[in-house]
Chain A
Amino acid sequence: MEEIQSLLHGFAVALSLKNVVLMFTGIVLGVIIGVLPGLGGANGVAILLPLTFSMAQTPGGATSAIILLSCIYWGALFGGAITSVLFNIPGEPWSVATTFDGYPLAQQGRAGEALTAAFTSSFVGALIAVIVITFLSPLVASFALEFGPPEFFAVYLLTFCAFIGMSKEPPFKTLAAMMAGFALAAVGTDPVTGALRLTFGSVYLLKGFDFLTAVIGLFGIGEILLSLEEGLSFRGGRAGLNPRVVWQTWKELRRYWATALRSAGLGCFMGVVPGGATPASFMAYGVARRMSPEGAKFGTGKLEGVVAPEVANNAAGTSALLPMITLGVPGSPTAAVLLGGLLIWGLQPGPLLFVEQKEFVWGLIASMYLGNIAGLIVVLTCVPLFAAILRIPFSVIAPIIMVICAIGAYTVANSIFDVWMMVVFGVLGYAFKKLQYPLAPMVLAIVLGDRAESAFRQAMLVSQGDLTVFFSNALVGTMTGLALALLAWPLVSLVFGRLRKR
């Protein structure tokens, strides 16, 4: 049981006073970010990332930095549930399914029960996913140590094809957004030959587009513009949580262990596949409705309808970190931002991390356990405080969020040009959201573009331009085949849909 030993060592790292303080700071910041409109996991972490640059330089600092940032992520995952239940506003796309039964419960004056159920389910989902990460990631990493460029490119291909095959947006819009991301990633100096690409003589474009600026603009500014449209009235139920309600709800929740396990399984599986958290929460809700004896009453305020999507989205959100630390391929935009952080701190994400940076990896995994426990304590005790934030009028909170975004964009590279780019990306994000162009594959393409291209070119160099290298052995062949199958999936389902209609 080498994993247990490494994990115990990780706990020792994560439990230092400094790291525990950072953990709670991260959780509180994360919940606030998750509650506020226009700030979510991805851009919240992106804005705070520059603050960790100097922290990561000190010995052991990278571990502290990742603990802070990942705890912001857990906090945002918890925070999404608060707005869904109390205000019927999903703070994150994956919290949409939580509103189906959570908000009716709040309207019936049972907000406390709904929140307890949501938080507890989030915790259980995350916990199961962390256990999966603990035991699966060393295996995946040691397996991936054998990977060469063709295998890595096949993994990237699989990631991006999964987006086209699985997203609910039109496939060609997904493709367009993704490829635009690759094009943005290509701007600047070619990593192999050093030639200048797509700069069109502009000095500003020499260093290329920073994905952090893109994330802050697309998700932050775009989101604020969008929420302006939907009106600004936050009307919602009062949140009162006392120990008796929590205890009562916990007793009732025991009945739904089967739903929770099923949803967690679904979530873990979908989280490892990119773009997973949102579909996972919807699928878990759908499956629970079909399997539950009270399925017909779903949507009117059943606790089970809160449990299923919350377990699934936290399991998916957490397990999205598995491919990030083992393969260097993030499963979600937030995981992509964390991956960008690792690169900036000088750590190379991928299988070698488990060999060369044992302390970092296991510190991170241990902090996942502790961070989620800390998160559960914080949200259960401080709900009224967080709900109060939503009562700050929009005309006060919106410009402050904009200022925070601008500071975030500036500190990425100390350049005012990035602030302007952020505004441009904001308009882009607004238009994309309105027209159903997905943002996640675009962000992932900006982050992974150069790496995917390098892997492709190295593989091509080895094979002398022969594309069959991606089918040269069983492993790479399976991955490429699976990727192509996912790519063809929208077409297949379209044909089947037509046939069934006849």
Chain B
Amino acid sequence: MKSAEAVVAALFILIGALVMTDSVRLGFRWADDGPQAGYFPFYVGLLICTAGLVNFVQALLIPPAKNGAFVEVGQLKLVLAVLVPTAVYAALIAWIGIYVASTLFIAYFMRRLGGYAWWKTAAVSVGNSVVFFVVFEIWFKIPLPKGPVEAFLRIH
């Protein structure tokens, strides 16, 4: 818990410093026509740094007795088992379109984490994408990203 707190606080200080540097570049003082573009963000950055610093010190002051684990190994595995496929899914959308990516994503989830039979997995994952296709492309006329499969099927 302690290290996670400290790392997040340090990240805040870093972001604050980043914001302040860019504000100094833009100018954070008064010009003839009023405050410059960096005026407001500069103080925002300053406050992020200050708050981050206080949180960092408070993180270091956590007594060892209260220093529980940020996340247990088993929990972390579960979270990563979801987070990694989600990141891959988000990346895949750009390549193969949202419908195929969603089908693969749901199928992966049901097969790997749920342990469903193939025919059930296929039915739900494909069915879901078909429903979304009808709702978005046909019903609401909102085009979503499509890839080579849609091009092959000529349903652009």
Contact = CB atoms under 8 A, between A and B. Distances in A.
A302 B60 CA distance: 43
A393 B51 contact: no
Q: B22, B37, B54: which has the most chain A beta carbons within 10 Å?
A: B37
A198 B15 CA distance: 11
A180 B15 contact: yes
A233 interface: no
Contacts, number: 159
Is chain B's binding surface mostly helix, strand, loop or mixed? helix
A301 interface: no
- The contact size tier of chain B is 35 or more
B84 to A, nearest CB: 10
Is chain A's binding surface mostly helix, strand, loop or mixed? helix
Contacts of B144: 407, 410-411
Given A186-B44, A406-B93, A426 B36 contact: no
A453 B132 CA distance: 40
Interface stretch (A11-19, A223-231, A260-268, A316-324): A223-231
Contacts of B140: 51, 54
A456 B112 CA distance: 53
Contacts of B145: 410, 416
B124 interface: yes
Given A396-B110, A400-B128, 6 more contacts: A180-B15, A183-B15, A403-B105, A416-B93, A422-B90, A453-B40
Interface of A: 50-51, 54, 170, 172-173, 175-176, 179-180, 182-183, 186, 190, 192-193, 195, 197-198, 200, 221, 224-225, 228-229, 393, 395-396, 398-400, 402-403, 406-407, 410-411, 414, 416, 419-420, 422-423, 426-427, 430-431, 434-435, 437, 453, 456-457, 460-461, 465
Interface of B: 4-5, 8-9, 12, 15-16, 18-19, 22-23, 26, 30, 34-41, 44-45, 47-48, 50-52, 54-55, 58, 70-71, 75, 78-79, 82-83, 86-87, 89-91, 93-94, 98, 102, 105-106, 108-110, 113-114, 116, 124, 128, 132, 136, 140-145
26 contacts: A51-B140, A54-B141, A172-B51, A175-B51, A180-B12, A183-B15, A197-B22, A197-B26, A197-B41, A200-B22, A221-B86, A229-B78, A395-B116, A396-B116, A402-B86, A403-B105, A406-B90, A407-B98, A407-B132, A410-B144, A410-B145, A414-B143, A416-B145, A430-B79, A437-B8, A461-B35
